Amino acid sequence: MRKIVFLLCCTAIAWNVQSQTKRPLKPADIYRLQNIGNAAIAPDGNWVVYSLSTVDSAKDKRDDNIWMISWDGKQNIQLTFSKESESSPAFSPDGKYISFISARADGSEDEDDKDQDLAQVWLLDRRGGEAKKVTNVKGDIDSYIWSPDGKKLLLIMKDQDFSDTAASEVRKPFVMDRFHFKQDYIGYLDHRATHFYLLDIDTKNIDTLTTGLYDEGEPDFSPDGKQIVFSSNRTEDPDKNENADIYVMDAKPGAAMKKLTTWAGTDHAPKWSPDGKKIAYLQSSSDQNFTMYGQDMVAVMDAGGGNTTILSKAIDRPFTNLRWSKDGKLIYALTEDDRESNIVSFDAANGTYAKVTQGQRATYALEVNTATGNLLALMSEPHLPFELFTVQNNTAQRLTHVQDAFLATLELPVVEGFQSRSSDGNLVSGILYTPANATGKKLPLIMFIHGGPVAQDDYSFDIVPQMMAAAGFAVAQVNYRGSSGRGVEYTKAIYSDWGNKEVLDILGAVDYLTAKGVADPNRVGIGGWSYGGILTDYSIAADPRFKAACSGAGSALQLSMYGVDQYVTQYETELGVPWKNADKWIKLSYPFFHADKIKTPTLFMAGEKDFNVPSVGAEQMYQALKSNGVPAQLVIYPGQNHGISIPGYQVDRCERYLAWFGKYLQ
């Protein structure tokens, strides 16, 4: 008995020590966070293959490898170990092979050849042995899908770039004549397009299915493998609108395309029903040239076109990731709904709507187990980074445990939802993060604003506000008007009226949190990235209460963005051209033209190669504040686009957030 008591005491002491060793989240924890990517289910339904991204801190980059886990979660096996990344894993239709995309070397004598760094498709025999490269094309493969019989791969590739074929290392000049001539991550745009190619696995022969000036994407084979359905914008000038439609063609060279939809907005993401008689797809609610202020609806039509039904017409929410059920009776989808995103279903025949999963979580990917009819989803919760979950009988059960080691040593902040009223009566939903061991005293408050604007802060694990809260701040995210998940009218409320209602919603949340005694009204800061950075600029120009700000990838002199960023179609649709609507453009540029009223010390940040919101937006506001004697700093991340991708820069950004807000708020 004494031995048992002694063991119990030792166990209690060990547990106590372990609990006491938990620590707050820190910027360097970004290096430890793993990310699950694409996942696919084996034809027999017993295995799932997925990509897992980890940080190589020595090289300061992420490395993706392929893993395979049994459906019951009892076996988890790493399949690739190379220094190069592998992504987009899939099973062959017979289940014998796992395919993936990688730019890894193939062991040939000419490994130093420049073509070796191109992304190609590889096959890994599940019975053992090394992976073999099955494509050797002169360009990067964007994606691929298997034909139903497993004999062919449909490759999605962009036309080859011949700009650097000269012996000289000096690149040829960029020559552009397109209306839309630049795009983030791509750069300056020429007339190369994305097309379909059909690879025979055995012979390695590649047939060209599509050519020309138009992009084709989102293909899906008919169940018999004879046809391909896809989306394409084949209007006279696709640069000037977003009028993509659904097309179908035979899966052979020279086949004619048949247009199946005629909506002036966007029709895309088609999926063939298991019996081949129907096609489900997403249709934008907006038919404008720029459709961002709408939301995608679930539609279904006959495989030959016609007899179209909008299944989600009565559900005022956006939908993504359409998948047919095994028996073809249901269409599954993901939907955003006021900070949550979950799985729903529609009866394909009568449109009956049902919630499959519910709760405070975010769901970002969905697949159907065609052997059992169960579902696989990528899910996150406020205290759980993304993991794969199986869904059976409307119940989600965690499959992977890749985040266990990351979470084991951390004491995470408290996360809870809240709602506030703006001065004009608008009801705003938000998420509040507070330190795990908050004493009840009023805390310095950071309003951390999401980008988009058509997006939502949801109940996923969000490492940046959690990190800020772990450092002693109260952090609030608000789904201001313009956000998704609250219906189309809520999203459209800011159309052609930026920096007005959103700022009212932000200030209303500040008032609510200070009135509740959560926040110290004299220590309020604000920050965000992209449209969050833009709203940071609007907010500090509209209200002097903010004692510190961090504006990332933002802009304030909107008049100067025309022809500089990638949004010319939006500008001309929503605002009109500047030379005819100068008053509108100047009104929306009020942070810059009222820079002399800004007293908030502000840290401006941007990516050097950002074509989404170019660094000039941050540079202009930095210069304006410096000219007016307001404390300001400018940080430009070398070689980065709109999203900061290098882990070391991600850590640096968080450290700067904490240092700036710490200096002026704590």
In the chain the first and final C-alpha atoms are separated, in Å, by 53
Tell me whether residue 515 is exposed, middle or buried, using C-beta atoms within 10 angstroms of its C-beta: 0 to 12, 13 to 18, 19 or more. exposed
Inform me whether the pLDDT recorded for 18 exceeds 80: no
Who contacts 170 (Cβ-Cβ below 8 Å, separation ≥6)? Answer: none
Distance CA 408, CA 336 (A): 30
Specify the 3-state DSSP secondary structure of 101. strand
Q: How far is CA 499 from CA 225, 307, 484, 506, 537, in A?
A: 50, 42, 17, 10, 9
Q: What is the mean pLDDT of residues 71-79?
A: 96
Looking at residue 4, its pLDDT comes to 36
Looking at residue 451, its pLDDT comes to 97
Q: What is the mean pLDDT of residues 349-367?
A: 96
Inform me whether the pLDDT recorded for 666 exceeds 90: no
Q: What is the mean pLDDT of residues 524-538?
A: 98
Distance CA 247, CA 255 (A): 12
Helix (H), strand (E), coil (C) string for 7-28? HHHHHHHHHHHHHHCCECCCHH
Least confident of 171-180, 235-244, 361-370: 171-180
DSSP E strand stretches across 201-347: 206-208, 217-221, 227-232, 245-250, 257-259, 267-272, 278-284, 296-302, 309-310, 319-324, 330-337, 340-347
Amino acid present at 554: G
Amino acid present at 365: A
Helix axes 616-627, 531-542, angle to 10 degrees: 20
Domains in the chain: ranges and CATH? 411-665 (3.40.50.1820)
Which two tokens mark 2? 């004494």
Instruction: Summarize pLDDT for 87-139 with one digit per residue, the tens.
Output: 999 999 999 999 999 998 876 545 444 455 789 999 999 988 889 999 999 88
Residue 439: band (very low, low, confident or very high) from pLDDT cuts 50, 70, 90: confident
Query: Could you tell me which residues are beta bridge partners of residue 432?
Result: 416, 476
Q: What is the mean pLDDT of residues 143-159?
A: 96
The whole-model pTM stands at 0.93
Place of tokens 């908030």: 600
Inform me whether the pLDDT recorded for 370 exceeds 80: yes
Amino acid present at 317: R
Average confidence score pLDDT of the chain: 93
Q: What is the mean pLDDT of residues 503-530?
A: 98
Relative to beta strand 194-200, strand 206-208 is: antiparallel
Instruction: Summarize pLDDT for 603-657 with one digit per residue, the tens.
Output: 999 999 999 999 999 999 999 999 999 999 999 999 999 999 999 999 999 999 9
Instruction: Summarize pLDDT for 566-598 with one digit per residue, the tens.
Output: 999 999 999 999 999 999 999 999 999 999 999
Q: What is the mean pLDDT of residues 431-436?
A: 97
Other Cβ atoms less than 10 A from the Cβ of 122: the count is 24
Looking at residue 140, its pLDDT comes to 83
Instruction: Summarize pLDDT for 169-217 with one digit per residue, the tens.
Output: 788 899 999 999 999 999 999 999 999 999 999 999 999 999 999 999 9
Inform me whether the pLDDT recorded for 221 exceeds 90: yes
Q: What is the mean pLDDT of residues 150-155?
A: 97
Looking at residue 3, its pLDDT comes to 37
Residue 437: band (very low, low, confident or very high) from pLDDT cuts 50, 70, 90: confident
Looking at residue 165, its pLDDT comes to 62
Looking at residue 112, its pLDDT comes to 46
Distance CA 502, CA 320 (A): 25
Inform me whether the pLDDT recorded for 336 exceeds 60: yes
H helix or E strand, kind and range, residue 122:
strand 120-125
Instruction: Summarize pLDDT for 377-391 with one digit per residue, the tens.
Output: 999 999 999 999 999
Looking at residue 172, its pLDDT comes to 86
Specify the 3-state DSSP secondary structure of 136. coil
